[in-house]
Amino acid sequence: MAIGMKTMNMRYHIAVGILLCLLGAVTSGHAAIYKYVDASGRIHFSNVPVKSHYSFYAHEAGDGEALSRSVTDLIKRYAVLNRLDVNLVRAVVRAESNYDINALSSKGAMGLMQLHPETAKDLKLSDPFDPLQNISGGTRYLRQMLDRFKGNLDLALAAYNAGPSTVERYGGIPPYQETQNYVEKVKQFQKLYRRSDT
């Protein structure tokens, strides 16, 4: 009995030590902490969510700069994976949410890339406010729009904003002021980001 308690106590201290090391790494590099629960009920934490079943868990309070670096890393990773210009993805995130991971529009669009509930469902996202899932899903959706409209950026952005069927119905950018402004805004942000990279 004493040996069993000693082993459990040692395991607890090891687990706490590992978590503290992880939190230290998070503070120094990435503010976001991700977790998942495996089939046997064990909880796993990581500051680098290398597998899609990790979901956003927490971030260091008051550490906006580190959180921003983490989001920037996710944008770069998923832009490359989905064959997108990184500056375009940055521009969409800025136009959609201004980098607010908890953004929620009056129409129910969620997170950094403002995914509508139906879009999030189609993309099979369990938590659209999780930065990893949101950027992964949002960049996949943006790639789908670019493919659907044969690489035409204006039409792809209009479709991202107003829906692809609306763009197809009008045979171009719909005559909605919001959508027309959105397309121009994203393109302007993209130019600004490109200039800042040079």
Q: Where are the alpha helices (DSSP H) in the chain?
A: 2-28, 64-81, 86-97, 117-122, 131-148, 153-162, 164-170, 177-197
Res 166 pLDDT > 50: yes
The pTM of this model reads 0.68
Q: Residue 41 has what pLDDT? A: 78
Q: Which of 60, 65, 96, 168 is catalytic?
A: 96
- Pairing mode, if any, of strands 55-59 and 43-46? unpaired
Mean pLDDT of 110-119: 97
Res 121 pLDDT > 80: yes
Mean pLDDT of 165-174: 98
Question: Is residue 133 a contact partner of residue 55, using CB atoms and an 8 Å limit?
Answer: yes
Task: Report which residue type is found at 113.
Answer: M
Task: Report which residue type is found at 120.
Answer: A
Q: Is 96 an annotated catalytic residue?
A: yes
Domains present along the chain, CATH in parentheses: 31-60 (no CATH), 62-197 (1.10.530.10)
Res 151 pLDDT > 90: yes
Average pLDDT, the chain: 82
